[in-house]
Amino acid sequence: MGDVIELERASSVGALQYRQSVREAPFASSSFGTPGSWQSSIRRRLKVILDLPIGWDGYDAAQLSRGTAIFAEQILESVWRPNLPLPEISPMSNGALMVEWIMGQKSLTIEIERPNGILSIYEDEDGDVEEISVTSNVAPIKAQLEKLLGLNEAIMAAG
């Protein structure tokens, strides 16, 4: 299921590298044809967020827990597919993690509240919303990702 996130403190270099990888290839398939570089970028971003102190939002924000970060990495590793763009990963003030993909008028938002606590929200181009709660079964999230990416339903059925 991938390496455990390192415990060393995140650095501003890590943040810069994540931003640079998104800027250089936000939707380029060649950079993310294999999971390794994609996952490395994810891991760098998670490390930056793990290093945020209590109150990072200017109010009373909780820190992201290691358990939630590790779970998030495992979930993202499970849904990875070739050509999947890097998501925007943001901490939430209550200690949860938000993972977003936005493609035109469509979006997929995954709120990882804690290990085995996920809320996945898909909005299509008509503004219709599909909201599901899952624990660790990523199949519904994969299905929403397929819709986001606009893949043929026959391909979904095949696979």
Which residues form the interface with other proteins (CB under 8 A)? 15, 19, 22-23, 26-27, 48-49, 52, 56-62, 88, 90-96, 98, 100, 109, 111, 121, 129, 131
CA 76 → CA 11, 104, 110, 125, distances in Å?
22, 21, 10, 24
Nearer to other proteins, 9 or 153 (CB): 9
Q: Which residue stretches of the chain are H helix? A: 12-24, 35-50, 66-79, 139-149, 153-158
Please tell me whether residue 35 adopts helix, strand or coil conformation.
Answer: helix
Alpha-carbon radius of gyration of the chain: 15
Of residues 2 and 62, the one with the C-beta less far from other proteins: 62
- Residue with Cβ nearer other proteins (2 or 119): 119
Residue closer to other proteins by CB (options 83, 93) is 93
Give least dist CB 120 to other proteins, A. 10
| Shortest reach from residue 6's CB to other proteins, in Å | 19
DSSP character at residue 123: E
| Smallest distance from other proteins to CB 142, Å | 20
Mark residue 58 as left, alpha or beta (left: phi above 0; alpha: psi -120 to 50; beta: remaining).
Answer: left
